[in-house]
Each structure stands twice: as C-alpha cells, then as structure tokens.
Amino acid sequence: MQLLRRSLLMGVRLAAAALVGTALAGTAMAQSASDRAVEAAKKYAGQTITIVWEAGLQSLDPLNFSGPKWEKLTGMKIKVIEVPTAEMFTKILQEHRSGSGAYDALNVIPSWMPDLVSAGALEQLDSWVDKFDYRKDLQDISPMFRDNWMKVNGKIYGFPDDGDCFIMYYRKDIFADPALREAFKAKYNREMDVPKTWADFAEVGAFITEKMAPKTYGAAFFRDAPYAQFMFQERFRNEGGKFFDANTMKATINSDIGVKVLAGMRAENKFMPPGVETWGFVENLAAFATGQTAMTISWPPYGRWTAGYGTDDKVMSWVPKTQIAGKVGYALPPGGHPELAAGFSLSVSADSKNKEAAYLFIQWLNSPEISTERVQIPYTLRDPFRDNHYTDPYYLSRWPDAKYYLETLKQAATYGLLDLSIIQTDKYEEALRQGISRLWAGDDPKAIADKIAAQWDAITQKVGVEKQKAAYADWAGKSAAYPK
C-alpha cells in the first residue's frame, strides 16, 4: 500500500511538472519576436555590436532611437558606422576581404546580395531564424519584399527593412478643375484622368504645361542619372522589355523597346521645368511641394512630407515646407508595376565575432512591433514593408489622406518590380547611368542603347557567361523580376 501511495504521489508530481513545463513553453511561444530577441540577447550584456548604416539623417534611427532602446532592454551597446550610400557596397566588401571583423550587422541594398553572398561576405541566417522562432514572423512581411529581397539561391541572407518603391503623386485639385477637364476633353475627346500609360502621361503633362506654365508645369522627375536609371529599369519592363536573352546572356536593352523608352524620357523633359535634367531628389521634391509641378514619381517620403507629416522636427528642417497639404493624390506609376528601387535589408557580416548577438539585434529591429514604430519616425526614412504597417491604426490617423497613401504603398508592394540583381550589378547600373547622362546631353537614343548593350556584354564576358547566366536565372525566376 505504501509503495502504491509513493507511485501515485510520484505520478501526481510528474503530471504537475509536465503541466508547468507546458505552461512555460506556452508562455515562451506567446512571446513576441521582439521579446524573444531581447531575452536571448541579455546574456550578451556589456558587449558592443557594430552596425553599418547609411550616413546622414537615416543613421539617427540607431543613434537616437533603436540603439539606445536596445541598450536599455539588453545591456548591449550599439556602435554605428556611418557610410555614404554610394560607398557602402565597396566598404562592406573591402572589410570582408581584409578579414578584420570590424562589422557585425549590415544594411544591404538587396541588389547587392548576390555579389556579397558570392564573395562570402554575408552570413546565412536560416539557423537563427529557426532557433529564435522567427520564421512565422517573416510571413507577415509583404510578399513582394519577402519573396524577392531575403534570399539568394533559396537561403536567407537578409531581412527586408525598408519598403522602397516608386509611386505617383499628383495634384487632386488640378485634376478636378472643371475648366481644365472641359478643355482637355475638347482637345483629346477623353477625360483628363491620372495617367495609367506613358502615352497618357505625355498628353496630360503637356496639356497642363500648356495651360498653367510657368506657374505650374505638367510634371517633373529627378533626372540625375543615379535616380533616372531606376526609372528606366521600371519603364523598360513595363513596356515589355527584357534585360538579357536568357539563353545567350546577350544584352537586349538596345531593343526597339529600349530605344523607345529613352526617346520618351527625353521628349517629356520638354513639358517639365527648365533645367530638370540636373534635378535630384531634393530639387524635385521642392518643385512639387511648392506647387510648381502637377505630377511626379518618387519614393514614399514625398507622400508624408507633402502632407506636412514629421517636417516640423528640427532635423527635418532641410525638407521644403509643403504648400499643397491636402491636395495630393497617390497612384501607381504608368504601367502599374513600380520599381522597388534600392531599399535596404538587414544582414549579418560573415566576419563578425558576435554573430548571434548581431542576429538578435536585427531580428528585434525587423520585428513587427519595433519596425512599426520605426517606419513612423520621420527621420528614419524607413518605409512600410510589413502587412501590419499598412493597417496600423496610428499610421492611418497621421494625416487625413494617410489611409489612401498606405493603400497605394500596399498596391506598389503587391505589383512592384525588383531592381536588376546579378553579379556585379553596380557595373551594369553604371553603364546605364552613363547612357542617361548622354541622353540628357542630346546623343541619339539608338546609339546610346547600343553602347549600353555593348558595355553590358563586356561585363558579362568578364564575369563569365555561365556564371552570370545562373545568377540571372535565379533573379529572373523571382516573382518581381518582370511583370506577370
């Protein structure tokens, strides 16, 4: 009987222990992705993680917000290495080749990832994703960014962290003006609607300039070559172009479509403000925000700033004060498939001496909870990329038309196009930039396209046709490579 009592007591204790264990496991599973990262990182308290971030305004995120908050939560310190965006790829590669281990976490433009992975500079993240139960949280990233910006050859090397995409901004009051609409219909026998094709864009833009310039021109874009090459990539594919013959890897950028796009880009400058060929991001923003232009295409910050959101912060004093708040509409660019231009992903350096600690920091930064805060801080220049960002109640209430802005960004994330991302992409983009500079100088579009194609073929030969063919096949197989 005594033996039986002991057996029963032992059984009760084991059952109770099992219930407690189950409860604790349930609690752990119930933790958010940010909480899991924080709890796991506490064992690294006192250590310092070095992260590479784009220099300037953007670096205020880890310097003023996320870095101090992470240190308070975990006891770890964050050291921020600021590098100009144009130099980041080279700096990351140089550090890897030196083997110094100076960097732990990295900001990486997704189009660089094939090169950096090929060089061995990025750490594969899959094992930590599973260890810290982050895979399900990655499913909440908008599919366009998740399926196209995270992986190389099916393995995870980065977490999408900045939902860069082009959208069209237009003046609602101008498009609703009864007199303008009547005059346009009389001339073109159709309504003056927000353009859905580039032919429509040319007609509407020229018409507004004819009727309203010099007070307001029909449109303007940033035409500085580093920006304009992204717009060429987008428009070329929307018109049906392919960058290469997939079988031979011969460049096809000098097809009739490529020539047509280059000629169209230059022709449109005629109804844009004088000197637009030299405009960059800020010049174009100033023209639109002050009412000088009726349409433009740019990254998401234009939508926030022209509504007046966040521009009263002293670090945002360089942003031109909007004169068109409440008058801005949002739409997809002509063609309906906007460029996912540049953007950033968070990665771990393969040479880091603190890889797991670095991973935990980027999981925390990227988590649904923390990223939702970060994309709403004006100075971070981080744009929505998770499903919950587009529906966050606070974001939806930031200004009267914020809900339409977020709806359009979600559409852009659904139908967007991935930047060309192959081996030595920077060299192909440089050839494009040179070609666009010659376009603004007045060179023949066909001759420009032929020169770009010849430069691309030479780069491909230097990389190795078969090697590049495999990289291109991996990129072209992604859902956002070409319009479906």
Distance between CA atoms of residues 41 and 367, nearest Å: 15
Q: Is the pLDDT of residue 305 over 70?
A: yes
Asked whether residue 29 carries a pLDDT value surpassing 70, the answer given is no
Q: Is the pLDDT of residue 200 over 50?
A: yes
Assess whether pLDDT exceeds 90 at residue 28.
no
**Residue 348 burial (CB < 10 Å; 0-12/13-18/19+)?**
buried
pLDDT at 23 exceeding the cut of 60: no
| pLDDT above 90: residue 348 | yes
Confidence at residue 61, expressed as pLDDT on a 0 to 100 scale = 95
When pLDDT is cut at 50, 70 and 90, the band that residue 371 belongs to is: very high
Give bridge partners of residue 340 from the DSSP assignment. 418
Q: Which range is least confidently modeled, 5-19, 41-55, 146-160, 319-333?
A: 5-19
**pLDDT of 18 above 80:** no
Q: pLDDT at position 24, please?
A: 35
Instruction: Examine residue 160 and say whether the peptide bond preceding it is cis (omega within 30 degrees of 0).
Output: no
The string of pLDDT tens digits covering residues 257-295 is 999 999 999 999 999 999 999 999 999 999 999 999 999
DSSP 367-426: SHHHHHHHTTSGGG-----BGGGTT-HHHHTSSTTHHHHHHHHHHHHHH-EEPP-STTHH
Window from 14-18, 36-40, 133-137, 327-331 with minimum mean pLDDT? 14-18
Residue 314 is predicted with a pLDDT of 86
Rounded Cα–Cα distance for residues 61 and 78 (Å): 12
Is pTM beyond 0.95? Reply is no
Choose between 313 and 178: higher pLDDT. 178
Sign of the CA dihedral 369, 375, 381, 383? positive
Cβ(169)–Cβ(295) under 8 Å?
Answer: yes
Residue ranges of domains in the chain, CATH in brackets: 33-163+342-403 (3.40.190.10)
- The encoded tokens of residue 479 equal 């859902």
DSSP state of 352: -
Residue 40 phi, psi dihedral angles, 5° rounding = -70, -30
Question: What does the DSSP assignment read for 164-206?
Answer: ---EEEEEHHHHT-HHHHHHHHHHHSS-----SSHHHHHHHHH
373-417 pLDDT tens trace: 999 998 888 999 999 999 999 999 999 999 999 999 999 999 999
Beta 339-340 vs 77-83: how paired, if at all? unpaired
Looking at residue 30, its pLDDT comes to 57
- pLDDT at position 312, please? 87
Averaged pLDDT for residues 32-44: 97
Q: Is the pLDDT of residue 4 over 60?
A: no
Specify whether the CB–CB gap between 183 and 241 falls below 8 A: no
b or e along 72-96 (b: 16 or more beta carbons within 10 Å of the residue's beta carbon)? ebbebebebbebeeeebbebbeebb
Q: Average pLDDT, whole number, for the chain?
A: 92
Report the pLDDT value the prediction gives residue 25, as an integer from 0 to 100: 38
DSSP state of 456: H
Token duo for residue 69: 């908050």
Residue 221: pLDDT over 90: yes
Q: What is the pLDDT of residue 57?
A: 87
